[in-house]
Chains A and B, each alone.
Chain A
Amino acid sequence: MEVFIDKTNQRKQLSFEGTAKQLLRKLSINSEEVIIVKNDQITTLDAKVSDEDTIKILSVISGG
């Protein structure tokens, strides 16, 4: 799975099977602070994510 975290401008390759919520927990990211984009579609926390997916974790907090 390719994961991009825009707040830290990080790209990671992970092996992960589970829900988006579990992925955020693994990355220590609060779900209230981000939206999750799975293969270019916004998705909910209960969505299944797996190694074939490209995930973007976009910060909802402005940087000012």
Chain B
Amino acid sequence: MKCEFCQKTAIAENPARCQTCFNKYVEETVKHTIKKYNLIEEGERVCVAASGGKDSITILHLLHSFGYNVEALAVDEGIHVYRDDTIRFLTKFCKERNIPLRVISYKDEIGKRLEDMVPKNKPACNMCGTFRRHILNKYSKEYEKIATGHNLDDESQAVLMNIVNAQTNLFARQGPKTRDVDGFTQKIKPLYFLKEKEIMTYAYTKQFAVGFTECPFSRESFRANLRDVFNLEESKNPGTKHNVVQKYLSMRQSSLGDNPETLKDINKCAVCGFPCNGETCKACQYKKKVANTTIKQTG
């Protein structure tokens, strides 16, 4: 297959692009997303939530190369091998580019490593995700924005999940830029219109791709099932994921208007003071629950 733009050998389909034209497409897509949705304003400091995987490394690389003031914030859950490899790569990556990196561990923040909270092979995604978001929010307070690696696959899955779960009220929390809520650092998603496969292709050409490792605490979930459905449909009908997200954005625009990003005066957690719906936030509830658990890992 030849590149539709320059006739060199293609590395990607729909449309066919060579490496140079493909990488340009990725970079222009991210620039366009930042501009169209006003993700970063002049002079703002951006914290990149970085795991060391392909998505966060790609964001760090792109924002840094575009000249934005970026720093990296990583969360070390305490998962032997799985997280050790990506944090090692992230540390090297940031050092080579003089990007400041801060690593916050569950051990220091929660008092225990994830491995000491949950038996291996038991799902821990809900609790782990809550702790992770809590830590990212806590340590990104000094920045105007926090950039995450959410991509077109994540967003199309989330749209469908919220419909299937009849949680369309959560639509306001999606989009390339989340609402401006008191107590939360505003979240931006520069990779919003790029598919996971496109990001992996870009990361491979830039030698950012770390090998596949699976979290021992992850389990096949509803989201994973939707991912399979979307991938099957996308392989038959290219553009499916993009269409779902574009429809969602049109619905969001018509129901929430131009500026749905403001939510003020919400409850504060009685323990940590973070915004929450009830008396105490979910992270503090989990923290209390795991404080007295002792886990002996087997195998």
Contact = CB atoms under 8 A, between A and B. Distances in A.
Interface in A5-64: 6-7, 30-35, 37, 41-47, 58-64
B66 interface: no
A44 B12 CA distance: 6
Contact of B200 (A31, A45, A60): A60
B211 A6 contact: yes
Interface residues of A, number: 23
A6 B212 contact: yes
A43 to B, nearest CB: 7
Interface in B198-212: 199-201, 204-205, 209, 211-212
Interface size class of B (residues with CB under 8 A): 20 to 34
Contacts of A31: 235
A44 B231 contact: no
B232 A30 contact: yes
A45 B196 contact: no
Interface in B32-53: 51, 53
B82 interface: yes
B227 interface: yes
Given A30-B228, A35-B204, A43-B11, 19 more contacts: A6-B211, A30-B231, A30-B232, A32-B197, A32-B235, A33-B197, A33-B231, A41-B11, A42-B19, A42-B201, A44-B1, A44-B10, A47-B1, A60-B201, A61-B196, A62-B54, A63-B212, A63-B215, A64-B214
The 4 closest A-B pairs by CB, nearest first: A63-B214, A60-B200, A32-B231, A42-B11
10 contacts: A6-B212, A32-B231, A32-B234, A37-B204, A43-B11, A46-B1, A60-B196, A61-B227, A62-B196, A64-B215
